[in-house]
Amino acid sequence: MTSSSSPSSPALGVGLIGAGRMGSFHAATLAHRLPGVRLAAVADPVPGAARGLVDRLGAPAAAYTDIAAFLADPEVEAVVIATPARTHAELVVAAAGAGKAVYCEKPMAVTLAEADRAIGAARAAGVVLQVGFNRRYDAGFRAAHEKIVRGDIGTPHLLRSLTRDPKLADPAPIPPWTVFLETLIHDFDTLRHLNPGATVVEVFALADALVRPDFKERGLLDTALVTLRFDNGALATAEASFQAVYGYDVRGEVFGSAGMLTMGEVRRTHLTSYGPEGVGAECVGYDQDLFRDAYVAELADFADSVRTGRAPSVTGEDARAALAIALAAIESVRTGGPVRPAPAAETAAETAAGGHG
Amino acid sequence: MTSSSSPSSPALGVGLIGAGRMGSFHAATLAHRLPGVRLAAVADPVPGAARGLVDRLGAPAAAYTDIAAFLADPEVEAVVIATPARTHAELVVAAAGAGKAVYCEKPMAVTLAEADRAIGAARAAGVVLQVGFNRRYDAGFRAAHEKIVRGDIGTPHLLRSLTRDPKLADPAPIPPWTVFLETLIHDFDTLRHLNPGATVVEVFALADALVRPDFKERGLLDTALVTLRFDNGALATAEASFQAVYGYDVRGEVFGSAGMLTMGEVRRTHLTSYGPEGVGAECVGYDQDLFRDAYVAELADFADSVRTGRAPSVTGEDARAALAIALAAIESVRTGGPVRPAPAAETAAETAAGGHG
Amino acid sequence: MTSSSSPSSPALGVGLIGAGRMGSFHAATLAHRLPGVRLAAVADPVPGAARGLVDRLGAPAAAYTDIAAFLADPEVEAVVIATPARTHAELVVAAAGAGKAVYCEKPMAVTLAEADRAIGAARAAGVVLQVGFNRRYDAGFRAAHEKIVRGDIGTPHLLRSLTRDPKLADPAPIPPWTVFLETLIHDFDTLRHLNPGATVVEVFALADALVRPDFKERGLLDTALVTLRFDNGALATAEASFQAVYGYDVRGEVFGSAGMLTMGEVRRTHLTSYGPEGVGAECVGYDQDLFRDAYVAELADFADSVRTGRAPSVTGEDARAALAIALAAIESVRTGGPVRPAPAAETAAETAAGGHG
Amino acid sequence: MTSSSSPSSPALGVGLIGAGRMGSFHAATLAHRLPGVRLAAVADPVPGAARGLVDRLGAPAAAYTDIAAFLADPEVEAVVIATPARTHAELVVAAAGAGKAVYCEKPMAVTLAEADRAIGAARAAGVVLQVGFNRRYDAGFRAAHEKIVRGDIGTPHLLRSLTRDPKLADPAPIPPWTVFLETLIHDFDTLRHLNPGATVVEVFALADALVRPDFKERGLLDTALVTLRFDNGALATAEASFQAVYGYDVRGEVFGSAGMLTMGEVRRTHLTSYGPEGVGAECVGYDQDLFRDAYVAELADFADSVRTGRAPSVTGEDARAALAIALAAIESVRTGGPVRPAPAAETAAETAAGGHG
C-alpha cells in the first residue's frame, strides 16, 4: 500500500436558490456530477422545499428559506439562481452585492434597466456573472459555432432557430409575453451566437394564442414567429410553440455563402422501429433529456470560471442583447410593424452606477 | 398469333412554346413519357431552336418560329407554355383564344391584371387552364397534403417552405423581383396548399443581395425571407436564396395542433459514405433530378384533365393567389412594413369579360 | 413553319415473352418509356394474356400464344424474357437460335448446364445476352460500384447484401430453393459486383422455414443466411426473408480498408411525420416502387447494347457465377458444411459448341 | 436557516483493480458520477499507476500495488476488475474469496473451466458477480430489448450485431483470438440478449488478417464474420473489424415476424454539414463517447445490486454463455466447419465446489 490520497484543493462551495424543476436538476449536478464542486446550500422561500431537495440528494448541504441568511453563509462561494424569471435580476444584484459569483438562469432580467443593474452590480463587485443559455454548451450547437467561427460555411445569410415545448399543462400561471421573454430568448441568443459579431437591427414579430385560444384575452400568446435582420445582412427566423405533441423540439439552421449547418435531434435514442405502419422512432419528451449534458457542462464552465478568474463564456451583456430582441419583438406585436432593438448599453456600468447613486 | 393491336383512341396532340431548359424537359415528356400523348409541335421565336429540339427528340413534330402559325395548327389540341415569365399571360390569352387547352409554367402572370385577363380568357373559351406548381405533384408534398386534409396533424399553426437554387451563374439577365415572382411563388403556393382553405392576410418581407451585392443597385435581390399570417391564425415563413453551394434545396414543414410533417430530400441517392472525414452523401444538384417525376406527373394530370373535361388540379386562381402574395411581399420590401395581399378576384370573370368588351 | 420532323432511325422492335407482373412492367417500359424503342409483340401461352396486356397498354403490338410464331415475327428484333425461372434458359436458347438479341430476367438458369447452354447459344448466334440484375442500375448501388472501382473505400473487407420481400401471399406455388435461386441470386450478384474482380471460394448457408413452418416439409425455405469468402480475403453475408411486414427491404453495405458504403432506402417518400407516437415515415411496399427507375434503365441499356453492338453490361457469365454461388448454398444446406462453388466455365463456349455438335 | 443536512446512509466503498484506459474511466465514475458510491481504493501492480490515477481524480482513495493488500482493505466493500482479460477469472475468485461483491469487465474468463471457477467462487461466497456487457445499458439497445420482450416485433428470425474498432494502433501486444474473446464477445452477448430465452446451437466462423496481413502468421486475426443458429430457429451474424477508418461503429439489427429494430449511431452529434462535397456529419471516434452513459449506468446498477442484495442484471452465467460461443467460433476457424457450443454448465456450482474440494 502506498498511503491514502493527499487532499487536492478544496471543492468549490456553490449554493442554489430555487428548488423547482430546473433548480433540482442543477442541485443534483452540483452535488454529484462535478469534480471539485460541492453543493453547499439550497435556498427556497417555500417552507420545506430546500430541505426536501437536500435530503433527496443525500448531500451534506445547508437548507434555507431566507435568502439573506443563505447569502451570508460563508460556505456559499458562488450562487446558482433558478427561481422564477421576474426575480432573477434582483437576486443577481443581491448575490453580487454579497460578493458571490453568480450563475443566473435565463432570462437574467425582463427589462433593460434590470439587466443593466444586474450587470453593473456584478461589475462593481468584481464577480463572475454567467447566464443560462445552455444551448451554447450542447455538443451539436457548440460544434456549429466552431465551424462558423472557422469560416466553414462562409458568411451567414439565412438562420433559423426554433423551440417547441412538449406540452402546455396549465397556462394559468404563465405571464404574458413568456413566449418571447422565456422561450424565444434562447433562440435569440442562439441566432446571435451563430452569427458572430453581427447585431440585430430589425425585428418583426407575429404571435397568437393558437394552442389555447381561450387564454388569449388574458394576454397569453403560445405561438410566435419572429423575423430578424442583422447588420451584416443576414436574415433570421425564431419560432416557438408551447405545445408540440411529439415532444421537445429544438433545432437550428445556418445557411451561408459557402455551406449550411443544421442542428437538432428529435429522436430519443438510436433505436429505429419498422412495422406495418412504417419506420419510426421515439422522440425526446423533455428538455432535461435533450440538454442533460449541456446543463452539466454550463455549470462546470461556470465553476471553472470562478476558480480561475477568467471571464465567463456567456455574459450579462449576452443576456441583455437577447432581452433587447425579445422586447423589440413584444413591441412589434403591439405596434404591428418592424422595430429596431435598443442598442447595446455601452454605458451599462455607468448606468448601473448611476442607479446605485 | 392473334393479330395486331386494334388502335385505341388517338393520342392527344400537345404543342410546346419555348424550347429552353424547362421546355426541353417538357418536350421530352410529351414525346416519350406519357401514354396517350404526343408532341405535335414546338414553337420558339429563336430561329432553329424549335427545330433543333424536335430533331434531338426524334419526334414526328412540327417546328415553328411563329406563334400564330403554331396556334393555327389543328394538330395542336393543347399548349404547354414554357417561355420567360413576362410572356406567359399574353400567351395564355392567345392560346385560349385559339381554343386550346393551356398548361402554363409558373408564374402565370406578373401582375394581377394580367392574371385576371388570362383567367378570363380561359373561362371565356371554356378551355382547361393549368399552372405549373409542380411541387404539388411531388410524392412527398402530395402525401403531406393528403395527411393535412385528413386531419392527421390537426390545425396548422406554423408552416415553412424554402427554395434554394444551386448556383447563380450569371445574374445579369435576371429581372428585379425574380426572387418573389419566380422563386418564392412556388413556396407561396406550397404554403397555401398545405394550409387548405385558409387565406393569407398579412405579408412581411425582408430581402437583400447577399450572394451578389454588386448587383444590388440594379435591383437584383437574391436572398429573401417572407413571413405570412393566414386568416386561420397560422403563421408561415417562405425563404429563398439563389445560391446553395451544396445543391438544390427544397423543403417544407407544417407544424399543427396534433403533429408535424417535414418534407424535402437533399440527398441524391440512398448511398451513404463513411470515411476519415465522417459520414456523408451527395446532394441533389438540379431541380430536374429532384422533381423529375413531379414534372412528368403534372403533364399527365393536365392531359387527363383535357381528355376528360374535368377541372384542372392547379388553377389560374391558384396562380393569382400566389401572385398576390408575391406582390404583397414586393410592396413590403418597398415600404418596410407588413402588407395585406389583394383579395381573390371574385369578379375575375367579369373583369376579364369587361376587358374583352 | 419549318416543316415536319425528318424521321430519325426507326425504333428498335422488342418483343416480350411473359405477360405476368414483371412482364407487364417491362411491356409498359418498352411501349412508352424508351425513346427509340417500341413494343413489337407480346407472347404468353395463357390464352388472352398477351392480347390483354397489349390492349391495356394501347400499344400497336402483336400478341401471340405460340412462342415459335412470336420468334418468327420479323418485327421482333430483340426479346425480353420475363417468364417463370425454370423456363428461362430454354427460351434464351430458342431466342438466340432465332437470331434475336436477348434480355433474360434472373435467374437466367437454374443449373450450370442450362446456363452454359444459354451462354453458348448466344455466343454461337453472335447476339447480345443480358441478364436482369436490376440492382446494378439503381442509382445508389451504381454509385457504390463506381466508388469502389475508384478505390474510395480501399479494399473490401466485409460486405452485406439483403433482400426481404414484403409479404408471403401463397407459398404453395413456390418451388423449393427459391430463396437461393430467385431471391438471393440478386444478392450474390450484388456482392460480386461490389467486390470487383474477386471470386467466391467458400459458401456456408443456413436456411429455415420461419415464416411458414407448415411448408417446411414440402421443402420451402423462407429465411436464409449465407456466408461467403472471396479469394481476396473479403467476407460477406447475404440474407433473405420472404416476409418483411414493413415493406420491401433491399440494402447493402461494403466495409473496406479505407471507408464504408451503405445502400438502401426503406422510406417511400421524403415525408416524415411526427406525432404522439414519435417520428416516422411510410415504407416502400413494392419492388416496382423501389426499382422503377432501375428497371427502365436496364432495358434502355439493353436497347443501347443491341443498337450499338457493344457487349452487354450484365452478361450470361455474371448470371452463371451468381448461380454457382446459389447452388453451393443449396449444397451447404444439404450437407451442413461449407462448400466451394463450381469454378467459372472457361470452356462454356466449347461446352455449348459440343452440346450443339 | 433550517440546519445542516442529516447524513444519509454511508456511501458504498468500491475498489478498482486496473488503472488502464477502461479502469480510469470506471474510477472517475466511482469517484464522481454515482450518488451513494465512493472510490475507496485503486490497485495496479505497475508502480505509481494507482497512485497517479487517484491523484488525477482528486479522490480520497487508497492506492495499492499489491492486490492482496487491496483485497484486505475493509473500506473496499465491492471490487471493479478492469485488468487484462487473462487475469479476470483469477481476480474474481480472489475478490469473491475475500467476500467482496465483484463487477468484472468482459470477458470474465477465457476458458470454460475458468468461468466455472469464477461463478462457483461467487456463489460459494454469496456475493454479487456482475459482468461488463455495457451495451445492455445503452439506451437504444435497452429499449430494443424491452420491445422484443414485449413482443413488438414478434419472434426474431434474423439478427445482426457488429463491432468495429476505430483503429489498430499496435497489433503486437494483442493475443491471438482476441477478435472472438474480447471483441465479438460483446456481440454474442447482444445477440443472446435480443433473442431472449433462445440458445445458440450452431456456430460457423470465418476470420482473417485483412487489416494487418503481416501479423497473420503470429495468429492475429483482425476481421471476423460469425454465423449463429439458435434453437428457436433464428439465424444471426456477428461481425468485427479492428479498424474502421471512420470511427467506432457498433450496430445491431433484429428482424422478426412482426417487425424490425435497428440500433446504432455513428454520428458524434446532431450537427449536419452541407457543402459542395455533399451532406455529412462527424463520426463517433471512441467507445467512451458512444457508451459513456452506459458505462456509468452499469456501475450504478452494480452498486444498486450490492446495496439491495438483489441478483445482478448481467451474470456470470451470461459471461459463460457468450464465452462458449466465442470458443465455438475459434474451434470453427480451426476446423473449417460449423461447431456446436458447449452447453450451459448446469453443474457450475458443483464443479466449482469440487474445485474447492
CB contact residues (below 8 A), chain C span 171-230, against chain B: none
Query: Which are the contacts of A277, defined by CB distance < 8 A and separation ≥ 6?
Result: C280
Kindly list the residues from chain D whose CB atom is less than 8 angstroms away from the CB atom of residue C338. 204, 336-337
Q: Is the peptide bond before D276 cis (omega within 30 degrees of 0)?
A: no
Multiple choice CATH, A139-290+315-335, 3.40.640.10, 3.30.360.10, 3.90.1490.10, 3.60.10.10:
3.30.360.10
Q: Kindly report the backbone phi and psi dihedral angles of residue A18, in degrees, each rounded to the nearest multiple of 5, phi listed first.
A: 110, 105
pLDDT band at A350 (very low <50, low <70, confident <90, very high): very low
pLDDT of residue A285: 86
Which residue on chain D is closest to A261 by alpha carbon? D273
Same topology between domain C12-135+347-356 and domain C138-290+315-335: no
pLDDT in tens, A296-324: 999 999 999 999 999 999 999 999 999 99
Q: What chains are in contact with C, requiring at least 3 Cβ pairs below 8 Å?
A: A, B, D
Distance from CA of A37 to the nearest CA of D (A): 10
All residue ranges of chain D with pLDDT < 70 are 1-9, 346-357
- Compute, in degrees rounded to 10, the torsion defined by CA atoms D299, D301, D302, D308: 150
Q: Which chains touch A (3 or more CB pairs under 8 A)?
A: B, C, D
Q: Please name the residue of chain B whose CA is at the shortest distance from the CA of residue C269.
A: B140
B-proximal residues of D, 226-255, CB under 8 Å:
244-247, 249
| Alpha carbon separation from D73 to B315, C111, D38, D57, D79 (Å, rounded) | 85, 73, 14, 20, 11
Count of residues making up chain B: 357
Q: Give the angle subtended at the CA of D57 by the CAs of D32 and D101, to the nearest 5°.
A: 60
The CATH topology of domain B139-291+315-335 is Dihydrodipicolinate Reductase; domain 2 (3.30.360)
Query: What's the pLDDT at D290?
Result: 83
Which stretches does DSSP call E strand in chain D? Answer: 12-17, 37-43, 62-64, 78-81, 101-105, 129-132, 156-164, 200-208, 223-230, 235-241, 249-256, 259-264, 272-275, 278-281
Report CA-CA distances (Å) from A296 to A60, B11, C322. Answer: 20, 69, 56
Query: What value does the mean pLDDT of chain D take?
Result: 93
Give the nearest partner residue to A277 out of C267, C274, C280, using CB atoms: C280
**Residue-level pLDDT at A8:** 52
| Residue in B241, B255, B258 nearest the CB of A158 | B241
Residue with cell string 460556505: A75
Q: What is the mean pLDDT of chain A?
A: 93
Residue by residue, DSSP assigns B68-108 as: HHHHH-TT--EEEE-S-GGGHHHHHHHHHHTT-EEEEPSPS
The whole-angstrom separation of Cα B180 and Cα B328 is: 10
Distance CA A89, CA A344 (A): 18
The predicted pLDDT at position B288 comes to 74
Residue in chain A closest to B212 (alpha carbons) equals A257
Q: Which residue of B234, B235, B337 is in closest CB contact with A337?
A: B337
Our CA-based measurement puts residue D104 at a distance from the nearest CA of chain B, in whole angstroms, of: 33
B259 and A237 within 8 Å at the Cβ level: the answer is no
Nearest CB to D283 within list B267, B278, B282: B278
Convert chain C into a string of H (helix), E (strand) and C (coil).
CCCECCCCCCCEEEEEECCCHHHHHHHHHHHHHCCCEEEEEEECCCCCHHHHHHHHHCCCCEEECCHHHHHHCCCCCEEEECCCHHHHHHHHHHHHHCCCEEEEECCCCCCHHHHHHHHHHHHHHCCCEEEECHHHHCHHHHHHHHHHHHCCCCCEEEEEEEEECCCCCCCCCCCCCHHHHHHHHHHHHHHHHCCCCCCEEEEEEEEECCCCHHHHHHCCCCEEEEEEEECCCCEEEEEEECCCCCCCEEEEEEEECCEEEEEECCECCCCEEEECCEEEECECCCHHHHCHHHHHHHHHHHHHHHHHCCCCCCCHHHHHHHHHHHHHHHHHHHHCCCECCCCCCCCHHHHHHHHHC
CA distance A272 to chain C (A): 9
At C346, the pLDDT band (50, 70, 90 cuts) reads low
pLDDT of residue B346: 63
- Which residues 6+ apart lie within 8 Å of A279 measured at CB? A272, A273, C246, C266, C267, C280, C281, C282, C283
Give the residue on C whose Cα is nearest the Cα of A167: C276
User: Residue D4: which of A60, A65, A70 has the nearest Cβ?
Assistant: A60
Q: Is the pLDDT of residue C357 over 60?
A: no
Q: Which three cell numbers stand for residue C155?
A: 479494399
Query: Fold for domain D139-290+316-335?
Result: Dihydrodipicolinate Reductase; domain 2 (3.30.360)
Which chains touch B (3+ CB pairs under 8 A)? A, C, D
The tens digit of pLDDT for each residue in C59-111 reads 899 999 999 999 999 999 999 999 999 999 999 999 999 999 999 999 999 99
- Is the CB of residue C158 less than 8 Å from the CB of residue C236? yes
Per-residue pLDDT at A348: 44
Vertex A259: Cα angle to A257 and A260 (nearest 5): 115
* Cis omega (within 30 of 0) for bond into B107: yes
Residue C356 has pLDDT above 90, yes or no: no
**Continuous segment of H or E residues that includes residue D332:** helix D316-335
CB of C308 within 8 Å of any CB in chain B? no
Which single residue is written with the C-alpha cell 422564477? A84
| Partner B contacted by A349 (CB < 8 A) | no
Select from C97, C40, C101, C37 the least CA-distant residue to C309. Answer: C101
Residue C2 has pLDDT above 90, yes or no: no
C residues 119-148 closer than 8 Å to B (CB): 139-141, 143-144, 147
* CB-based contact, C278 to chain A, within 8 Å: yes
Q: Distance between CA C157 and CA C212 in Å, rounded?
A: 34
Q: Is C169 on the interface with D (CB under 8 A)?
A: no
At D207, is the secondary structure helix, strand, or coil? strand
Residues 3-32, chain A, touching D (beta carbon < 8 A): 3-9, 28, 31-32
H or E segment to which residue B250 belongs: strand B249-256
Nearest neighbour of C223 by CB, restricted to D158, D239, D244:
D158
Q: Which residues of D touch A70 (CB under 8 A)?
A: 1
> What superfamily would CATH give domain C12-135+347-356?
NAD(P)-binding Rossmann-like Domain (3.40.50.720)
Q: Give percent above pLDDT 70 in chain C.
A: 94
**Chain A from 62 to 121: CB within 8 A of any D CB:** 62-66, 69-70, 73
Q: Which residues of A touch C281 (CB under 8 A)?
A: 278-280
pLDDT of the residue at A62 = 98
Beta bridge partners of A79: A15, A102
Best CA proximity match to A322, nearest among A337, A344, A346, A298: A344
At D176 the three-state DSSP class reads coil
CATH 3.30.360.10 is right for the domain spanning C138-290+315-335: yes
User: Which residues of chain D neighbour C164 with C-beta distances below 8 Å?
Assistant: 255
pLDDT attached to residue A351: 42
Q: Does A276 touch chain C (CB under 8 A)?
A: yes
**Nearest-by-CA chain D residue for A47:** D2
SS (H, E, C) A219-254: CCCCEEEEEEEECCCCEEEEEEECCCCCCCEEEEEE
> Is residue C354's pLDDT more than 60?
no
D311 Cβ under 8 Å from any chain B Cβ: no
- Phi, psi for residue B89 in degrees, rounded to 5: -60, -45
> pLDDT in tens for each of the 357 residues of chain B?
443 333 456 899 999 999 999 999 999 999 989 989 999 999 999 999 999 999 999 889 999 999 999 999 999 999 999 999 999 999 999 999 999 999 999 999 999 999 999 999 999 999 999 999 999 999 999 999 999 999 999 999 999 999 999 988 889 889 999 999 999 999 999 999 999 999 999 999 999 999 999 999 999 999 999 999 999 999 999 999 999 999 999 999 999 999 999 999 999 999 999 999 999 999 998 777 789 999 999 999 999 999 999 999 999 999 999 999 999 999 999 999 999 999 987 644 444 433 333
What's the pTM?
Answer: 0.94
- Which residues, at least 6 apart from D344, have a Cβ–Cβ distance to it below 8 Å? D199, D317, D320, D321, D324
What secondary structure does DSSP assign to B172-237, as a single string?
A: TTPPTTHIIIIIHHHHHHHHHHTSTT--EEEEEEEEE--S-GGGGGGT---EEEEEEEETTS-EEE
Distance (Å, rounded) from C-alpha C186 to C-alpha C188? 5
Domain boundaries of chain A, sorted by first residue = 12-135+347-356, 139-290+315-335
Mutate which of A277, A284, A289, A290 to test chain C, going by most C C-beta atoms within 10 A?
A: A277
Q: Is the ipTM of this complex over 0.90?
A: yes
DSSP track, D102-132: EEEESPS-SSHHHHHHHHHHHHHHT--EEEE
- Measure CB to CB from residue A278 to each of C246, C249, C276 and give the nearest one: C246
Q: Which residue out of D1, D137, D148 would a mutagenesis test of the A interface target, given it has the greatest number of A Cβ atoms within 10 Å?
A: D1
* A229: nearest CA partner in chain B: B206
What angle, 0 to 180 degrees and rounded to 10, lies between the N-to-C axes of helices B21-28 and B49-57? Answer: 40
CB-based contact, B281 to chain A, within 8 Å: no
Cell match 486475426: residue? D221
Hey, are the CB atoms on D246 and B275 less than 8 Å from each other?
yes
Q: Is C204:C229 a contact under the CB 8 Å cutoff?
A: no
Whether D282 sits inside 8 A of B282 (CB atoms) is no
Q: Which of B1, B4, B62 sits opposite C66 (nearest CB)?
A: B1
pLDDT, tens only, C22-73 = 999 999 999 988 989 999 999 999 999 999 999 999 889 999 999 999 999 9
Q: Domain B12-134+347-356 has what CATH class?
A: alpha beta
Whether the CB-CB separation of A235 and B208 falls below 8 Å is answered with: yes
Measured between its terminal Cα atoms, the distance across chain B in Å is: 62
Count of alpha carbons within 13 Å of A120, Cβ hemisphere only?
A: 20
Q: Kindly state the helix (H) or strand (E) to which residue B260 belongs, with its residue range.
A: strand B259-264
User: Per-residue DSSP letters for B108-172?
Assistant: S-SSHHHHHHHHHHHHHHT--EEE--GGGGSHHHHHHHHHHHHTTT-SEEEEEEEEE-S-----T
